[in-house]
Amino acid sequence: MRFIHSTTLGLLVLVGMLFPVAITTAQSISPEETRKYLPDKLGDFKAATPVVPVEAQSADKIKPFDAISAASRSYRYKDGETVSVFLAVTSSDSGAFALLTSWGCSAPEQTNAKLQAALGTKSCVFPNRIEFARGPVFVDIEFNKDSRVALETLQSMATLLAATLDKGEDDVPVLVKHLPDWPNLKGRVSYAVNEETLRNWFSDQPVLQAVDFLGGAEAVTETYDSGTLVIIEFNTAKIAGDNDWNIKTKINELRSPTQPVGMPIPSAYRRVGNYAVFVFGAPSEPVANELIDQVKYQQIVQWLGNDPYAYERATREFTETTLGVLVSVVKASGLALVTCLAVGGFLGALLFSRRRARQRNVEAYSDAGGMLRLNLDEMTPETDPVRLIGPGVR
């Protein structure tokens, strides 16, 4: 019995020792998917270290952005400069963009047109680092802490690495473009692909506890002079309707007299198409509603199977194209006809005027009524008398 007890105790101790390791392993993100994006050599850059997996603490920070693989690696330039590359692979382009905005980059933000063409719209250049998202991949390039690297070296590394990545949609998510005056935004756009990230942003707003990102919803937020705007996009009208009911129920609950005094509630809320739009921190509800009025929902219909209206749409497009071609041909033919008539009339008038001038010259020396006659009697001089030198002229 003592032997069994000792054996059991030993197993429990062993399990207790391995349990933290198991938790750490479960929380880490595999670097395998990332290895193919961090080769041993990139142009004049050679790997200085092997591919290093991210720590569990860093993995927990990037998991909310649907990261499936992440790792870092250092590279040495031909001049001896060393740069560090952190790369994370997410499950979607939106996840990579969300990770980019959380890293401190307010995309789009780029002043170097040539570099932007190489990295894409979703990129930021800082004095000591370059961040960009290309397809489902997020990249952060910086110089090592123990060395200084020229910005040109970072740009060269970023350009080489970006060329090996699939550019995906190569544009910011459409939801960002639905922010009011989005091309001229001065603040930092933040993007989320799950409710956990959104609730962390606004931990003091209990209304967001009613939001469910079921079906792959996404959210974007930006701060304006009139308040902080939050737009959540749901994939279907059914999901948007369910969330709208839950949100309104939660707002009514927060406004009830049973709630503590000073309970924070949105300055305004409205459902716009499949969007749930919030405004926090506005000076008044009318001001908040004016900001929501600038949010427009553009409906996009996608058929899961064959489009039942494909034939009608193709027929309409064919008819419109044919009519357009016919009208163009008629216009071109009419223009050609008018041009020919104008040129012909001008040349005809010119020829007619010349013939009339010649006819007038002939009428002055003709006894045939202005008509030409044969000089059978040899009475008409063979030469033009006007051109003869008069008598007495030498």
Nearest one of 72, 195, 212 to 142, comparing CA atoms: 72
Q: Which long-range contacts (CB under 8 A, 24 or more apart) does 283-287 make?
A: 283/226, 283/227, 287/226, 287/227
Q: What pLDDT is stored for residue 207 in this prediction? A: 93
Q: Give residue for tokens 């989005």.
A: 182
> Distance between CA 294 and CA 357 in Å, rounded?
77
Q: What pLDDT is stored for residue 286 in this prediction? A: 93
Identify whether 108 is preceded by a cis peptide bond (ω within 30 of 0).
yes
- What are the structure tokens assigned to 211, written together? 């939001």
How far is residue 125 from each of residues 70, 162, 255, measured CA to CA in Å? 21, 14, 45
The pTM score is 0.66
pLDDT in tens, 160-197: 999 898 888 778 888 998 899 888 776 678 999 988 88
> Would you list the domain boundaries of the chain?
16-163, 174-293, 308-341
Q: What pLDDT is stored for residue 369 in this prediction? A: 53
Query: What parts of the chain have a pLDDT lower than 70?
Result: 1-28, 57, 106-112, 145-148, 186-187, 299-305, 307, 309, 360-394
DSSP track, 69-82: EEEEEEEE-TTS-E
